Amino acid sequence: MKPIKVVVHGAAGRMGQEIIRALSREPELQVVGGVDVNIPMNQLTLPDGSAVPFSSDLDSMLASTRPDVLVDFTIARATLPAARIAAKRGVNLVVGTTGQSAETIDEIGRLAKENNVGAVVAPNFAIGAVLMMHLAKIAAKYLDTAEIIELHHNQKADAPSGTALATARDMAKARGKPFLHPAESKPMASRGEQVEGISLHSVRLPGLLAHQEVLFGAAGQTLSIRHDTISRECFMPGVILAVKEVVKLKGLTYGLDALLHL
């Protein structure tokens, strides 16, 4: 079988570099190019010492390398333009960029369907984080009050995180109604952003990477479900899975849980 050819959008970033290293270790995958707004040179050196094209022009990169998959880990405002270009070129799409609006995700789905390609969009590619979200959905059916604390490095562009928002919405969907928000003597700004009756609290500090804790409360008891990202390596099995699966799909698949059959 021919390897799945991949272009990485956001190749100069820390996640992009980690993804390139991970994909390069997979015999079924082949990195054929990198795209970024910041390009120190016109070639990207892979771990084995070989070089592939490196450019700031996504359209020309896709035209010249003809990849099967575009992996996008950039910033929210760059994803949709990239998706439009990829879909037009018949390239499948894997998106890990957070901060996407519902409208953007819907348009990515429409683009994938109209151009007969697959698109996997996930708020989190760490399998442990996906399991944390899955367990929170189970608990949501039995406990009426909950809050989410998400902690990330201070360079993260969005707050609350895409994972926290997706967790809250999935929890409410699982129980079929919003959570009960505990009565307060007066509104307080420090109580966090409310989503489906759940207060979401964002922490941004140097030294953190990505962490989330879902707290449930009931009379006489609490339940805590927590996931901690120790290094960016934890995202790589999920990214690799998505790249291998997206070429078999048509239209939009949202969330890694669908690929894990949870």
3-state secondary structure 127-193: HHHHHHHHHHHHHHCCCCEEEEEEEECCCCCCCCCHHHHHHHHHHHHHHCCCCCCCCCCCCCHHHCE
Region 194-220 average pLDDT: 96
Task: Name the residue with tokens 């956001």.
Answer: 10
Name the phi and psi angles at 186, rounded to 5: -160, 155
Show the domains of the chain with their CATH numbers. Answer: 4-121+232-260 (3.40.50.720), 127-229 (3.30.360.10)
Residue-level pLDDT at 36: 96
Residue-level pLDDT at 99: 83
Region 81-90 average pLDDT: 98
For residue 255, what pLDDT band results from cuts at 50, 70 and 90? very high
Residue-level pLDDT at 139: 98
Lowest mean pLDDT among 98-102, 214-218, 221-225: 98-102
**pLDDT cut 90: percent of the chain above it:** 88
Within 8 A by CB and 6+ apart from 244, the residues are 4, 28, 29
Residue-level pLDDT at 185: 66
Residue-level pLDDT at 186: 75
The model's pLDDT over 188-201, given as tens digits with 9 standing for 90+, comes to 888 899 999 999 99
With beta carbons less than 8 A apart as the criterion, state whether 53 and 42 touch: yes
Q: What's the whole-number average pLDDT of the chain?
A: 95
Query: Cα–Cα distance between 152 and 51 in angstroms, integer?
Result: 33
Q: Active-site positions?
A: 152, 156
Q: Where are the alpha helices (DSSP H) in 176-253?
A: 236-246
State pTM to two decimals.
0.86
Region 98-114 average pLDDT: 94
Residue-level pLDDT at 158: 87
The model's pLDDT over 155-189, given as tens digits with 9 standing for 90+, comes to 998 899 989 999 999 999 999 999 998 877 677 88
Residue-level pLDDT at 2: 93
Tokens of 125: 């590619």
The model's pLDDT over 16-43, given as tens digits with 9 standing for 90+, comes to 999 999 999 999 999 999 999 988 778 9
Residue type, 49: G
**pLDDT cut 70: percent of the chain above it:** 99
Residue-level pLDDT at 183: 74
Residue-level pLDDT at 31: 98
With beta carbons less than 8 A apart as the criterion, state whether 158 and 202 touch: no
